[in-house]
């Protein structure tokens, strides 16, 4: 045996890692083999053929069309879209809210500071499930019944049907909402064109800004161009592109307009309360981590308080805040699964129903694990890319 | 340097030992698996139960009437007593049984994986469950059907009146599928509101979140009584599905399947022949009817053909009662539920309970 080679540090390290990998592979392959043989002996070997079969159920809230004859696969997608859509809305709203709370918490105003402090301390110490049940049972379910609903802009149609701009009842909120009308087909191209022109304008402005050294308000001018063209386009389309639809009380339920169910509302409210408290703390820690000398330097250079915050503190605080924010965002997607307790058809709830209908517990649990893993991984991938882009690049 | 060498040797040695272990254990475990398969999965649940000394039965922990956990930690209900009857038949003692509370999501997997011996948890016998899940279902012990609970003042009298209604369902049953099918078949639109938890569902339904609540008739009846104002609600006359509730056992163990099936037939037989826990001893002394003698284990050895003692049926009826007694105890007027017997009567009285001859 050539001892000198064995004593070489690099060889040793490589050998050790190889051995370690081998051990891992062995352990996992024996686990896999064991599982498969155990499952086979019980007649439970996974099969995914059921995915293309009809699910034979209905789902209360669906973004894409879904009915009794839709497949199990489509049912999973419907659940996934419900989870993803509410997560995105919650993340956006609670980031804004959390930011404001963090600023209040750091403000010199005694009242603001203490309101923010008690908000954060109280909410962070209540389990999310309790918050959700509170919103559902004590707030939304206590709203009046549909028949006695609170209506704004109430009117009665010729057929004797009650309509209104906004209905508030324990079935949720229904309000008038624009829906694509006859002219939409043409108008969507106008919107597209307006968007393209706005982007073009922003690019030109930016290049000019680079030359002159002045910072033009890019977003503002972009928005002006976009709204200007789309407004002008509105009057040129022969039919109205968007039509307002009012909720009407027909039979047992409201139809038309935009309906936000009590379940969605409770889950949304509970989640933003909970998440914003955590986000506020993450942002506060980021802001406070910025060195005091930076502020003093900024003030002595003559920056105003607002400009100091915007140009000196926030860019530095953001870098520190991104990693903890990522884990909070990851939590949101997973927390939506608690919606099952209050009847919101999120991914987990749909999977539960499918397990019952098809009896394919093992396969569906595997699928739901893979989906949640995928959601989390893509969120953290996205945040990591963002993080590495805004990190200080040391030259 | 020496230490590094040592580490490498240790690592190599460990790997080798793991390889050899896993190889040998693979071989032996395969053989063991094969033989134990025959032992536990395919051939003899009965032996396993006898060896263990008690039966393991999957039930519901919160379905009053059928099976629920009382404050003292006992499982009370029609289904729990049915499990006790099987325990009495196999082991001679109705208390030699351990109950496993299962949600409807967990129940079939628990049976497939061998965690429980039999499943008595309002499981509807359907073809998919019978074929695809590797289960066997006994003769139904309760004929149920799905219907709707509505407020009396809602004006809903028929299913056709439910157009556009919000309907709440407790998840984890055949109910969601039945509801979806019937509404699709009649082209009625509706909005399902699904709940995982009964308390949430009842709270929301009573507050008017939904116009109707659908589920098995028996379950809705017991739950209607638990609402704040039972008089405000009613059940629709129409029944939208057949729900034959049956005991589930694993595929491939014919002996155990026979035992559980004949236990149910024994309970039916008891009622049909008016043999109850109270009069069984006197009937044992006095009866001259050949079938009753065979049933009680006095004339032939029916019990040993099942792999049980010959007084299995005697033990069962004596210690838990016949079908009628179980029904009376848990669904009768004294139980506070008063569920009508409906189809769940002996065939001699116009019901569907019919047992093959004991001979």
From first to last of its 359 residues, what are the pLDDT tens digits of chain B? 455 555 655 555 555 554 444 444 444 444 444 444 444 444 589 999 999 999 999 999 888 889 999 999 999 999 999 999 999 999 999 999 999 999 877 888 899 888 999 999 999 998 888 887 888 999 999 999 999 999 998 889 999 999 889 999 988 677 888 999 999 999 998 989 988 888 889 989 998 889 999 998 988 988 888 888 889 999 998 999 999 999 999 988 999 999 999 999 999 999 999 999 999 999 999 998 999 999 998 888 889 989 999 999 999 999 999 999 999 999 998 888 888 898 999 999 999 999 999 98
For helices A9-41 and B2-36, give the axis angle rounded to 10 degrees: 10
The whole-number average pLDDT for the span A269-287 is: 94
CA distance B174 to B139: 18
Which chain A residues are within 8 Å of B248, Cβ to Cβ?
A: none
Nearest-by-CA chain B residue for A21: B15
Q: Given B26, B192, B197, which is nearest A341 (Cβ)?
A: B197
Q: Are B213 and B205 in contact (CB under 8 A)?
A: yes
Q: Which of A356, A357, A362 would you mutate first to test chain B, the one with the most B CBs within 10 A?
A: A356
| Structure confidence by residue, pLDDT tens digits, A300-355 | 999 888 888 888 888 888 888 988 998 899 899 889 999 988 889 999 989 988 88
Nearest-by-CA chain B residue for A146: B208
| Residue A121 CB neighbours (<10 A) | 11
Give A1 to chain B, closest Cα distance, Å.
12
State if pTM tops 0.95.
no
Q: Given A23, A341, A353, which is nearest B18 (Cβ)?
A: A23
Q: Which residues of B71-82 are buried (b: 16+ CB within 10 A; e: fewer)?
A: eeeebbbbbbbb
CB interface of A with B, residues 313-372, below 8 Å: 340-343, 345, 349, 352-353, 355-359, 361-362
Interchain CB distance below 8 Å, A356 and B192: no
Interchain CB distance below 8 Å, B15 and A19: yes
A/B interface, count of CB pairs below 8 Å = 155
Interchain CB distance below 8 Å, A16 and B7: yes
User: Rounded mean pLDDT of chain A?
Assistant: 87
CA distance A315 to A319: 7
The whole-number average pLDDT for the span A66-79 is: 91
- DSSP assignment letter at B297: T
Interchain CB distance below 8 Å, B19 and A26: yes
Interchain CB distance below 8 Å, A60 and B191: yes
- DSSP assignment letter at B124: B
Q: Which residues of B153-184 are buried (b: 16+ CB within 10 A; e: fewer)?
A: ebebeebebbbbbbbbbbbbbbbbbbbbbbbe
Give A243 to chain B, closest Cα distance, Å.
24
Question: Hey, what are A355's tokens?
Answer: 């397990």
Nearest-by-CA chain A residue for B162: A252
CB interface of B with A, residues 180-239, below 8 Å: 180-181, 183-184, 190-197, 200-201, 203-204, 207-209, 211
Which chain B residues are within 8 Å of A248, Cβ to Cβ?
A: none
| B166 Cβ under 8 Å from any chain A Cβ | yes
Q: Which of B105, B116, B119, B156 would you mutate first to test chain A, the one with the most A CBs within 10 A?
A: B105
Q: Given B7, B134, B173, which is nearest A356 (Cβ)?
A: B173
| Type and span of the H or E element at A380 | helix A361-390
Interchain CB distance below 8 Å, B128 and A44: no
CA distance B176 to A372: 25
| A116 Cβ under 8 Å from any chain B Cβ | no
Nearest-by-CA chain A residue for B8: A16
């Amino acid at each position: 045996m050539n001892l000198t080679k064995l004593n070489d540090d690099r060889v040793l390290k490589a050998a050790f890692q190889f051995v370690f990998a081998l051990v891992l592979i062995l352990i996992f392959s024996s686990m896999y083999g064991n599982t498969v043989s155990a499952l086979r002996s019980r007649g439970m070997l996974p099969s995914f053929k059921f995915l293309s079969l009809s699910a034979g159920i209905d789902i209360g809230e669906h973004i894409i069309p879904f009915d009794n004859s839709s497949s199990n696969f489509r049912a999973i997608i419907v659940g996934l879209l419900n989870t993803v859509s509410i997560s995105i809305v919650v993340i956006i709203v609670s980031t804004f809210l959390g930011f404001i709370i963090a600023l209040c918490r750091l403000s010199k105003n005694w009242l603001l500071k203490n309101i923010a402090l008690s908000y954060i301390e109280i909410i962070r110490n209540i389990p999310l499930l309790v918050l959700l049940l509170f919103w559902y049972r004590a707030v939304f379910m206590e709203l009046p019944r549909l028949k006695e609903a609170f209506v704004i802009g109430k009117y009665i149609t010729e057929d004797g049907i009650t309509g209104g701009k906004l209905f508030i009842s324990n079935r949720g909120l229904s309000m008038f909402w624009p829906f694509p009308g006859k002219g939409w087909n043409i108008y969507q191209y106008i919107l597209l064109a307006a968007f393209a022109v706005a982007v073009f304008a922003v690019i030109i402005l930016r290049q000019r800004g680079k030359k002159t050294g002045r910072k033009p308000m890019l977003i503002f001018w972009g928005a002006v161009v976009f709204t200007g063209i789309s407004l002008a386009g509105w009057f040129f389309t022969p039919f109205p592109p968007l039509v307002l639809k009012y909720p009407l009380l027909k039979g047992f339920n409201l139809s038309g307009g935009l309906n936000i169910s009590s379940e969605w509302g409770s889950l949304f409210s509970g989640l933003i309360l909970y998440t914003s408290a955590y986000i506020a703390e993450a942002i506060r820690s980021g802001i406070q981590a910025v060195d005091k000398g930076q502020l003093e330097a900024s003030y002595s250079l003559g920056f105003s308080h607002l400009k100091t915050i915007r140009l000196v503190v926030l860019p530095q605080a953001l870098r520190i805040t991104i990693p903890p924010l990522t884990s909070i965002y990851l939590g949101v997607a997973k927390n939506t699964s608690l919606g099952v307790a209050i009847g919101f058809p999120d991914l987990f709830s749909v999977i539960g129903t499918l397990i019952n209908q098809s009896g394919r517990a093992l396969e569906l649990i595997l699928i739901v694990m893979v989906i949640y893993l995928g959601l989390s991984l893509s969120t953290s991938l996205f945040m990591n890319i963002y993080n590495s882009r805004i990190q200080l690049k040391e030259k | 340097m020496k230490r590094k060498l040592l580490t490498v040797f240790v690592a190599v040695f460990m790997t080798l030992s793991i390889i050899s272990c896993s190889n040998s254990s693979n071989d032996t475990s395969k053989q063991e698996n094969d033989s134990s398969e025959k032992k536990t999965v395919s051939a003899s649940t009965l032996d396993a139960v006898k060896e263990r000394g008690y039966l393991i039965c999957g039930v519901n922990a919160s379905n009053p009437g059928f099976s629920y956990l009382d404050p003292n930690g006992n499982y009370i209900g029609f289904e729990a007593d049915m499990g006790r009857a099987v325990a009495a038949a196999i082991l001679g003692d109705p208390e030699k049984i351990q109950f496993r509370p299962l949600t409807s999501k967990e129940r079939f997997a628990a049976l497939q994986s061998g965690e429980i011996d039999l499943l008595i948890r309002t499981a509807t016998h359907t073809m998919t469950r019978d074929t695809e899940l590797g289960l066997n279902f006994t003769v139904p012990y309760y004929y149920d059907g799905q219907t709707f609970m509505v407020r009396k003042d809602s004006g809903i009298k028929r299913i056709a009146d439910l157009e556009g209604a919000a309907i709440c369902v407790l998840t984890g049953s055949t109910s969601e599928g039945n509801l979806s099918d019937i509404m699709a078949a009649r082209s009625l639109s509706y909005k399902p509101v699904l709940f995982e938890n009964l308390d949430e569902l009842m709270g929301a339904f009573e507050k008017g979140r939904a116009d109707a609540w659908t589920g098995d008739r028996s379950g809705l009846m017991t739950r209607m009584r638990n609402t704040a104002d039972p008089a405000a609600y009613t059940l629709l006359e129409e029944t939208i599905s057949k729900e034959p509730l049956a005991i589930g056992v694993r595929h491939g163990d014919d002996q155990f399947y026979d035992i559980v099936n004949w236990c149910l037939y024994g309970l039916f037989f008891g009622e049909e022949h008016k043999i109850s826990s109270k009069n069984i001893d006197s009937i044992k002394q006095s009866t001259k009817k050949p079938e009753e003698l065979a049933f009680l284990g006095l004339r032939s050895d029916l019990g040993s053909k099942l792999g049980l003692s010959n007084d299995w049926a005697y033990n069962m009826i004596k210690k838990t009662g016949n079908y009628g007694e179980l029904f009376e105890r848990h669904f009768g007027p004294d139980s506070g539920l008063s569920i009508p017997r409906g189809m769940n009567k002996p065939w001699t009285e116009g019901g569907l309970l019919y047992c093959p001859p004991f001979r």
